[in-house]
Amino acid sequence: MGEVAVLGLGMHPWGKFPEKPLNDICRVAVKGALADADLRWTEVQAVAAASSRFSGGKGWGLNGNDIVEDMGSTGIPVYNMSAGCAAGANAFSVGYTMIKSGIHDVVLVVGGEKMPKGFIQTSGLDDHTDPEFLRQRCVGLPGPGFWALLTRQRMAEYGTTEEDLAAVCVKAHEVGTHNENARFRQKFSLEDVLNSNMVNDPLRLYEICPVSDGAAAVVLCSEEFARRKTRHPIFVASTAVATARFDDGLPRGLACVPGTRGAHHSEARLSVAGALEGAGIGPKDLDLVELQDNTVYYELAFPEEWGMCEPGESESLLHAGETLPTGRMPINPSGGFLCFGEATTAQGLFQICEVGWQLRGESGPRQVPDAKIGMAQSIGLGGNGTAVVLKR
């Protein structure tokens, strides 16, 4: 079989839109991706959708069915995928597989979310047999508290300072201010970040992503179909899905097995390693990465864990400007989760759109010069990890 191409990219800007139903938000992304691909809705042969319990989907996470009913019930198959914050890229992997196997020539992949206010409640039911419910009820540790513990460990191991953490946020907003789809486009000084409210010591308000509403869509197709539409298609070099190992040191229920020092998110490490191997490249061959920065900690830790740089080196690269779009290791030239906020199931697809626009040279002031290969990475509840490598 030939390669799988990314033909169309579409996005609804991230924000909070209490007056807009989820279908309206998703429709903008879907129509944008179809227009970008120069396709009619009737040419779509299947839909792979990121599903959620937070919004839409008839209360059952049937988001893809809502979209098909909204766009036109043509009888096509719908695949609703649930993987927490990794659901968008998980659905992308399903769409990729359907094209690669020859089942379909054109697949729409879509994710959209309207998030409730406040900290994300990961357990949907008061179920005393559900370890996730028990963890939250017994330990009372929401995301920011968990991220703060990881950050404290890094500070003890590598001497990371509060100024280093704040500098990640400053860099994110320096590039995110140029992204028309980002929710938070203001620039911050180091003092602005350090003066923002403390949430979970040492993490401050501006150093943690909020929850947002948003949607993104991608049209995948066969290489033959793509070459009839464009002379310069973007291709999927690889896509990988993984789940966490039992020994990575993170509590996957009420207890954990002590893991190797650092590199706790084994689902991220395994999916990234699988995607890089599938693409036939090493971590330092990437021209850019869109990684999941729920908080500033991850932008420092993940590149080291994946071999993009040496352990403890991220802070010096950050301060030297090497993680900017013009640096040698561009990280989140979109502005990342810190500028977008988290619309759970749509996150992996917003990252893929951003990498695709970079490879096309369509990112304006955020453009990574001569970008040829980039990776999008996401993790989600349940120890789900995904990584997608695109190339031109």
322-371 per-position pLDDT tens digit? 999 999 999 999 999 999 999 999 999 999 999 999 999 999 999 999 99
pLDDT at 262 over 60: no
Please state which of the ranges 203-207, 228-232, 278-282 shows the lowest mean pLDDT: 228-232
Q: Quick one: which of 242, 240, 244 has its CA closest to 390?
A: 240
Lookup result for tokens 């040279």: 361
Nearest to 306 by CA among 252, 265, 343: 265
The mean-pLDDT minimum among 45-54, 87-96, 180-189 falls in: 45-54
Locate the DSSP E strands across 190-312: 198-200, 203-204, 213-222, 234-243, 288-290
What is the distance between the alpha carbons of residues 164 and 318, in angstroms, rounded to a whole number?
Answer: 8
Report CA-CA distances (Å) from 318 to 143, 157, 164.
24, 18, 8
Residue 146 predicted with pLDDT over 90: no
Spell out the domain ranges in the chain. Answer: 4-118+213-236, 131-208+237-391
What SS3 class is residue 152?
helix
Burial class (CB in 10 A: 0-12, 13-18, 19+), 252: middle
**Confidence class of residue 53 from pLDDT cuts 50, 70 and 90?**
low
Class of the CATH domain delimited by 131-208+237-391:
alpha beta
The pLDDT score that the predictor gives to residue 336 is 97
Mean pLDDT of the chain: 91
How many residues are given for the chain? 392
Residue 108 has pLDDT above 70, yes or no: yes
- When pLDDT is cut at 50, 70 and 90, the band that residue 176 belongs to is very high
Question: Do residues 22 and 112 make contact, with C-beta atoms less than 8 angstroms apart?
Answer: yes
Q: Does the structure show a pLDDT above 90 at 284?
A: yes
pLDDT at residue 291 in the model: 98
Confidence of residue 131 (pLDDT cuts 50, 70, 90): low
> Cα–Cα distance between 297 and 147 in angstroms, integer?
7
Q: Rounded to the nearest 5 degrees, what angle is found at the Cα of 46, between the Cα atoms of 40 and 49?
A: 105
Architecture of domain 4-118+213-236: 3-Layer(aba) Sandwich (3.40)
131-208+237-391 and 4-118+213-236 share a CATH fold: yes
Residues 309-322: pLDDT tens digits?
Answer: 999 999 999 999 99
Q: What local confidence, expressed as pLDDT, does residue 381 receive?
A: 83
Q: Torsion-angle region of residue 307: left (phi > 0), alpha (psi -120 to 50) or beta?
A: left
Q: What is the mean pLDDT of residues 297-311?
A: 96
Q: What are phi and psi of 225, to 5 degrees?
A: -65, -40
Instruction: Kindly report the pTM of this predicted structure.
Output: 0.93
Whether 118 shows a pLDDT value over 70: the answer reads: no
Closest CA to 291 of 374, 234, 370, 225: 374
Q: How confident is the model over 252-268, as a mean pLDDT?
A: 63
The pLDDT of residue 21 is: 92
Segments in 255-311 forming alpha helices (H): 266-279, 296-305
The rounded Cα 157 to chain-centroid distance in angstroms is 27
Report whether pLDDT(8) > 60. yes
The predicted pLDDT at position 73 comes to 96
CA–CA separation, 166 vs 320, rounded Å? 15
pLDDT at 64 over 90: yes
Spatial separation of the C-alpha atoms in residues 119 and 106, rounded to whole Å: 37
